Structure 1
């Protein structure tokens, strides 16, 4: 109650001069009708004060933010101007043609240093700044450049993959013979040198467990082949494969076996989801002392595609890769398998499958048999009939 009266007199009292004249010329406010109205006026006054305070804070934040942003933009512009003034760069367009090679895995600083060494750019900084400004991706390969070029012009070329030459791409599932055929199409590369290395015993390049065969031991990827010896390029492929196997935790003593199983899975199906089941089929057949019966291995032993297999090839027991007549795994891998196939060979899915048939060539749909041996044989024949309608090879 005391607070209400104090509120009332605070709101409505007028001060007067000594002669009794009110200081304010305005008419005195009407007294409030009730305590409720007094509380309402007080709440309104508080809201006005809060709104005013918020508005002041917002203005301060906007002003400070604008000053801060403007300062940093000015500073960045000034720094860029100073950097541009300091970094040495050729004006271009350059003279004297020169071949320049970007190695797989090299970063802008390494590439820039090599460019500087060949007097293609005037400074490493000019090149790395040009890469950053363009947000460019630099591709491996050999490029035709000139000496004393403007850094941004060099970046434009090195980031255009269509201008790259002299590199070899090894794809998952390719055989060594396919890799050699691809090498032969690259200008300026001696394919005979590569054939000599890849058909040799692998001394100084292959690990002992490979037993002298490069099949399966070439890591998929892109490799520069110009201005490099064939042995150096092949060793880079093998070293990359060993590093990959280590990263996948493949035990050294199991590498050849894992690569062999993975390569078969890679050749038999064209969907990642089936790798684990195919590798389990292989393990199940081996455990039951069955032949693997894989047409992909027979095709490899005859250096043909599976669609080119003949009846005489199927009956040829002298072919060590004929897994219809010879039990166990083939002597070597039959291709360079991808990571997922290797992982599947390392850890096959759990299941009792003994046979599988790709019933739809277009979609890659593959069906696996399950149950007792008799049940699986019956299912296998059913899937074979289904597959024959699409002229697919069954296993």
Structure 2
């Protein structure tokens, strides 16, 4: 007789009863006879071997996954160590370098691009070392031309190009900066003679300025960073700054024609009068209210501009000099031109000043910049006294 395994396999293979081709039901068909014992033993052996192979493959897969997790964890830990505790595992030089080489960073370049160019020039050993140093120290790279060395430790090279004071060849135009200051810096950074810039300014900016500027560059130079070491002429540099200003105003939907010049003038006064962006809009509203009432603006910032000095250096004679067209203490209406190159915040405030009936304002606290606004002269006089008291205490 067949043993239990043979009988079990027999019934597994037979799958119950099989209908015949004659259409008789399953009750009329006997089961097929079992195979030989030898065939059944071979079948059991194959099944046993298949189970063993399946178990071995599963074990190998689990083992490989485990090794992958361990290796991956080690890689991540290694990268974190390199990022936060140095770049010893990344190809890097150990010295401050040798020789001297000029290296320029263009506006908009990222650390990866800068690091690769440094590596290509032999300044750092690898781009990875440089980008790791930038990330680990949370550095900001500034456009400009820098004096570096060959074979520098990456962290040293990163420290140099993240120091804006060491950048050369790039003109930085600041919000609220006057035309004369911009030209001084342009001459210094470009190496172009001041006479070249002055001839363009005195010539009324033909081919550079829009008609509404009426030949005056003040207010029409867009703050930002400009490469002036690329061989550009004085005219090309000036045009680049003016084009950037016009493009920004067009993008913002600023009014055109004379209204645009007026906008820049109002914005420049607001930026010069207070040192906090939160007050720009209110100052513009004061300007508009006083003009509507036929009052003088009474802004020391405009008087100072006409005298080519600062508000704190004005004398009584200068404050009363009616021959100064920028003296808004004496002359009504806006000054003939903007008094600086206003930045984004001041221009936005001039485009959308808040509603209010203010006619006066005083920066009562010079340290914090706190400025108070009022619509009557009596309150204004109290604010002036408050300013004097605080200013005396500060001294």
TM-score by length of 2: 0.65
Following superposition, the deviation at residue 293 of structure 1 comes to: 1.5
Deviations 1:132-185 (A, max 9, x none): 4443643211123568x6895866654454543233322222111222333455
Q: How many equivalent pairs are there?
A: 314
Does 1:296 find its partner at 2:301?
yes
Following superposition, the deviation at residue 268 of structure 1 comes to: 0.8
Following superposition, the deviation at residue 238 of structure 1 comes to: 2.1
**Residues 206 and 121 (structure 1), Cα distance of their counterparts in 2 relative to 1, 3 Å cut:** farther
Select the residue among 356, 359, 365 that pairs with 2:364.
Answer: 359
Following superposition, the deviation at residue 377 of structure 1 comes to: 1.9
Q: What does 1:213-362 align with in structure 2 at a 5 Å threshold?
A: 213-229=216-232, 230-253=234-257, 254-362=259-367
Residues 189 and 226, structure 1, Cα contact 8 Å, conserved in 2: no
SS at match of 1:223: strand
Q: What does 1:364-379 align with in structure 2 at a 5 Å threshold?
A: 364-370=369-375, 376-379=376-379
Residues 171 and 186, structure 2, Cα contact 8 Å, conserved in 1: yes
Deviations 1:23-42 (A, max 9, x none): xxxxxxxxxxxxxxxxxxxx
TM-score by length of 1: 0.65
SS at match of 1:252: coil
Deviations 1:186-242 (A, max 9, x none): 484534433433444122222222222121122222333334332333223223323
Calculate the aligned-residue CA RMSD, in Å.
4.0
**Residues 236 and 130 (structure 1), Cα distance of their counterparts in 2 relative to 1, 3 Å cut:** farther
Query: In the alignment, which residue of structure 1 is the partner of 2:51?
Result: none
Q: Unpaired runs of 5+ in structure 1?
A: 1-61, 78-88, 371-375
Query: In the alignment, which residue of structure 1 is the partner of 2:3?
Result: none
Q: Unpaired runs of 5+ in structure 2?
A: 1-61, 78-91
Deviations 1:242-300 (A, max 9, x none): 33323433233332221110110111111222111111111111222222111111111
Worse overlay, 213-222 or 292-301: 213-222
Residues 304 and 311, structure 2, Cα contact 8 Å, conserved in 1: yes
Residues 127 and 151, structure 1, Cα contact 8 Å, conserved in 2: no
Select the residue among 155, 179, 182 that pairs with 2:182.
Answer: 179
Deviations 1:114-139 (A, max 9, x none): 779xx73599xx97555544436432
Does 1:204 find its partner at 2:207?
yes
